[in-house]
Amino acid sequence: MTIRQEANPLLGTWDTPFEAPPFERIAPEHFRPAFEAAIASHRAEIDAVRDAEGEPTFENVVVAMERSGALLRRVAAVFFNLSGAHTNPELQAIEREIAPVLSRHWSGIYLDEALFAKIETLHARREALGLDDESERLLDRYRKGFRRAGAHLGQAERERLTAIGQRLAELGAAFSQNVLADESGYALMLDGEADLAGLPDFLRKGAARAAAGRGAEGAHAITLSRSLVEPFLQFSARRDLRERAFAAWAKRGEGGGETDNVGVIAETLALRAERAAILGFESFAHFKLDDTMAKTPEAVRELLERVWRPARARAAQEREALAALAREEGANEAIAAHDWRYYSAKERRRAHDLDEALIKPYFQLDNMIDAAFHVAERLFGLQFKERRDVPVHHPDVRTFEVSDADGRHVGLFYGDYFARPSKRSGAWASSYRSQRNLDSVVRPIIVNVMNFSQAPDGEPTLLSFDDARTLFHEFGHALHGLLSDVTYPTLAGTSVSRDFVELPSQLYEHWLGRPEVLERFALHAETGEPMPADLRDRLVAARNFNQGFATVEYCASAFVDLDMHLAAGDAARDPMAFERDTLSRIGMPEEIVMRHRSPHFLHIFSGDGYSAGYYSYLWSETLDADAFAAFEETGDPFDPEVAERLRRFILSAGDLRDPAEAYIAFRGRLPDAGPLLAKRGFA
């Protein structure tokens, strides 16, 4: 079906508030013609840059490329946000089709000999161009991008890299869709009171709502949404049901049949290894890490091993405590993976007098949203006004206009908080429009997506403390996008190295545990009373409870990611055997399972964003522990001078400078891992 351009809302003018996407007018059939038109438009713009006669200049090459592709950015932003947060079979079919097309399009640009020659000419003359620091940084990033794509290689190598990119795009789309299919297709139906044994009221309500969403009114279902399956593993007194739920959670993407991802992993690893070899790198890990703060696989492994050893020792102590508790209760079986959370929750109640059912009423979703906004106001003077006139991609989504202390518009923020079958699992931040000051001031549209279990109508949605921390984490990413203030879109917002991008998000988590935040926003859902000081103190004191387990399950995933991309050829032959061998080599406790097993490891196989880079959370935690100490050293967690440095050199600066330089500009020095080990309770 052909759709005229003027009838396609993706291609026309958006007369919505803030020029937000007009979701109510966008249908799946609009995307194919919109992508075709946008790609053709972008290619024409790039061809004009390449074919322009006369001497290449920074303005007619680099700035012209920055101005190009606006329509494609707009169409792609809407499409890929919907494909993650609210997809359907039509969108999934388009995703499978368009992913390799887009890969071929971008390869055609970054492997273009004539265009690369102009970039090289400018780079060779950069000292004579009179560029400011931001423009010089942009030129450097463009040159590195072209060379990392392979523009300097021969025609045969460039053609092969194009083919590899297309196939990897197809594989990434298939991987994520397979995981979503396994997640949305699974439900553990609970039959009667015996199956509900041990489940607190909030979890029963969540399970009832999940069942109703699947057409089973009056029943209860546990889905693979983390906000349901994790508390089920903590509370269910039925060991057999815990085992079934955990097995489904752990084996996503590994069930055989059409949604099995093992073959996808094997081909992905082989192609990544081939790509790295063509580009002259020892391995794909060496290729990916060359453009990060860590720089080398050796630096990553050194950090992982420094944390792994005390974490594994702590996990062994935790296991013995759980086994002793199980024996006290008459359970003679050894602690298994599906038992850990159950006995850990019991041990936490005993050691710290903390019960999730007691804590959750104090963490109402609406209050935690307000708390995240309040911290941003205290630190950066931001104001948030809810807007009900902005189109949204799902009725549950909320929108907020963000302004600064003087009332100037900063950006638009979408909050998409609840789990649904059309949404992939996890939590993430993204954008519908990034910031730029080129030609005119364009402010961003940022979205946070989460998977909290929604309460029944008329009742507040309650979060665990970990859920609330996730909300703060993703809002830290949102601030990184909202506060961006650079000229060029390529350098804007979160367009920084992968092991630096988690600094703003992980740093923001620190404020959730501050007494002044909890006193104001941790209010009981029924009584409205603030969390008692002794409960608050116990909650904060327990922040490192079970830290051995948490660190082991995370580090194991990071080790497997790194090892697979160092030895991708070997891993490709039998990915699951390689995963087992890596875990055996590092001494993985058999009672703990990787946080993300390879067949559902979306971070590294749904695209290559975090491939050979899952360590980034730990690397950034080294930074965030030290960065929050900068506030603590002043005696004021909202110290205005430190907050201003954070905003100036980190949050608003995008990729204006090398990450190490950016951190030194903020802190005056680079950190070491000492504060990280102390934060996790290992020092």
> Could you tell me which of 402, 394, 361, 285 has the C-alpha nearest to residue 529?
361
Its sign, for the CA torsion 219, 225, 228, 231, is positive
What stretches of 417-464 show up as alpha helix (H) in DSSP?
none
Strands in 407-486 per DSSP E: 409-418, 428-433, 445-452
> Could you tell me which of 171, 204, 153 has the C-alpha nearest to residue 103?
171
Structure tokens belonging to residue 367: 């209050």
The residue type of 678 is A
Asked if residues 194 and 181 have their Cβ atoms less than 8 Å apart, the reply is no
Annotation says 474 is catalytic: yes
Residue 103 burial (C-beta neighbours within 10 Å; 0-12, 13-18, 19+): buried
Asked if residues 271 and 168 have their Cβ atoms less than 8 Å apart, the reply is yes
Distances (CA, A) of 512 to 26, 202, 231, 376, 601: 37, 22, 21, 12, 28
Question: Which uninterrupted H or E stretch holds 484?
Answer: none
User: In angstroms, rounded to a whole number, what is the distance separating the alpha carbons of residues 193 and 237?
Assistant: 11
DSSP 214: T
Q: At 654, phi and psi to the nearest 5? A: 50, -130
For the chain, give the longest Cα–Cα distance. Answer: 84
Written as one string, the DSSP assignment of 155-200 is HHHHHHHHHHHHHHHHHHHHHHHHHHHHHHT--EEE-HHHHTTT--
Residue of 95, 318, 347, 474 with catalytic role: 474
Sequence-distant (6+) residues with CB within 8 A of 241 are 188, 190, 195, 232
Sequence-distant (6+) residues with CB within 8 A of 571 are 266, 269, 563, 564, 565, 578
Catalytic residues: 474
